[in-house]
Chains A and B, each alone.
Chain A
Amino acid sequence: MIGVYREFEGVMRLAGHVVRRLPVLALPPVAESLTRQIYFTGASATAGIVLRGAFIGTFIIAYVIDVLDANVALAVKILLWVVLREVGPLIAAVLVIQRSGTAVTTELALMQISGEVANLRHMRIDPRDYLVVPRVVGIALSTAALTFYVQVIAVGGGMLLSALTIDASLGELFTEFFALASPVDFVYSVIKSLLFGAAIALVCCYQGLHAPGTSINAVPKAAINGVTQSTLLVLLLNVVFAYLVFGQAFFGLVTAKL
C-alpha cells in the first residue's frame, strides 16, 4: 500500500514538473523530441487506428440493432453515447498504451540502466525536461487526435451499417445524429482524451525512469508496470468522467437524458 502511494505521489510530482516546465518546449531539442513523439504516436499509428475504429463502430451498431431491435433514434443515441463519448477515447487510449506506452517505458528504462539518463545530468540537462515533458505533451495531443479519428471512423462506419440494416436512410441518421450531438460532447471527449494521454505518458515515463533494478531484467518489469498501471489509471479516470457526466456536471451543461 505504501508502495502504491509512493508511486502515485511520484507520478503527481512528475505531473507538477511537466506543468511548471512547459516553456522548455520552445527549446529546439525539446521541440524536436515533441515532433518525433507526435509523429510516432499520432501519425504513424493512424492506419491501424482507422481500421480498428471502423471495425469497432460497425460491430457495436450491428450488435445493438440485432439485440435491441433498435430504431433510428436508438441507434444514433447508442452511437453518440457509446462511441463518441466512451468507446472512442477508451479505444484510442488502449491503442496508445499498447503502442506508445510500452515503447516509452522500455526506452526510458533502457536509458536509465545504460547510463544515458546520467549522461543528461552530466550535461546539466534535467532528464524530466528533455525526456518527460515532450512525451507527455506529445502523447496527450496524439491521443486527442487519435480519439477524433476513431470517433469519425467508428461513427461513420456505424451509420453506414445502420443505413444498410434498418429502415432508415443515411441522411435521416445524420440528421438525427447532429440533432442530438452538441459541442459539449466534442469538448468532453477532447478533455477526456487529453487527460488519458497525459496520464498514460506520465505513468509510463515514471516507470521507465524508476526501473526496478539496474540489470536488463528491469526493462520488462518496468514495461509491465507501465502498461498495467496506465491501463488502470485510464479506467479509473473513465469512471470518474462517467460519474460526472451521467450525474450532472459542468454546471448543468451535461446531463443524462435517458
Chain B
Amino acid sequence: MSAADQGVALGYEPASGSGERRVWIPSGGSHRSGPLGALQREQLVSAVLDVRPDPDTRLVMLGVDVDELQPAGRAALRDRIAFLPADGGLLSSLNAWENIVLPIGFHRPECLREVAARVYGMLARLGADPSALLAKLPERMSLYEKNLTGYVRIALERPELLIAEDPQGGLDSVERAAAERFPAAYLEDCPGGTFVQLEVASAP
C-alpha cells in the first residue's frame, strides 16, 4: 500500500480531484471515525460488510485492497470482519446467552463446550453479572446490556477487525464509562486486532 493510500483519512470521504471516494481502515489498534451522515454510514457499513464497495469507492482494509480480490478472497476477508450495530444487533426471540452463542454455533459448533467459561470471564471483566444478564431477553435489557451482549458475541469469534457503531451513544455516564472499556478488552482478547468506532452524526 502506498503512502498516498495511507494518507486517506479513516472514514468515508471523497478523494480530492478524481471523483473516487477512498476508505482506508488502518490495521491494528483502536480508532474512531469522524461523525458520518446516515447515508455515508449506510454506504460504509454495506461496503465493508459486503466486501464489495460501489464502483466509485476504493476500499482498503486489513492491508488489502478489496478491488483486487477475487470472490473467494472477498469471502475470506469477510470472515475476518465483524460489525456491532448501535443496539447490539440481537435477535429479540433469543435470550442473551442464545444470542451470544448463535454465531459460534453456526461457524464453529465444535467450540461450543468451551464457550461458557470464556463468556463468563469476558462479562466479569467488563463489570457485568453473567448470571443476571444471560437469561434476559433483549426486551428486558438496557441499551448498554444489549451492546455488551452484542460485543461479547462478536469478541468470542476474535475477528481481526471489529467495527462498532457508536457503542457509547445513548448511554448514561456510568454505562458510557463501562462501554469505553470495549476497545481495550477487545485488544486484550485479540492482540493485533483493529477496533473502529463509527460515530454517526445525529440528524439535523
Which residues of A pack against B, CB within 8 Å? 27-30, 32, 107, 111, 114-116, 119-125, 129-130
Q: CB distance B85 to A115 under 8 Å?
A: yes
CB under 8 Å from chain A, chain B span 53-103? 78-79, 82-83, 85, 89-93, 98, 101-103
Q: In the complex, A137 Cα to B168 Cα: how many Å?
A: 41
Instruction: Please tell me if B170 contacts chain A, counting CB pairs below 8 Å.
Output: no
Point out the residues of chain A lying under 8 angstroms from B106, CB to CB. 27, 29-30, 123-125, 129-130
Quick one: closest A residue to B81, CB to CB? A124
Q: CB distance B90 to A125 under 8 Å?
A: no
Number of B residues near A (Cβ < 8 Å) is 21
Distance in Å from the Cβ of B29 to the closest Cβ of chain A? 23
Q: CB distance A116 to B83 under 8 Å?
A: no
Q: CB distance B85 to A28 under 8 Å?
A: no
Point out the residues of chain B lying under 8 angstroms from A30, CB to CB. 106
Q: CB distance A122 to B85 under 8 Å?
A: yes
Q: CB distance B91 to A124 under 8 Å?
A: no
- The residue that B103 contacts in the complex, of A107, A111, A114, A123, with Cβ under 8 A, is A123
Q: In the complex, A64 Cα to B153 Cα: how many Å?
A: 61
Q: CB distance A28 to B109 under 8 Å?
A: yes
Q: CB distance A124 to B79 under 8 Å?
A: yes
Q: CB distance B78 to A119 under 8 Å?
A: no
- 9 closest A-B pairs (Cβ-Cβ)? A119-B89, A29-B105, A123-B103, A28-B105, A122-B83, A125-B106, A29-B102, A116-B91, A28-B109
Q: CB distance A27 to B85 under 8 Å?
A: no
Quick one: closest B residue to A123, CB to CB? B103
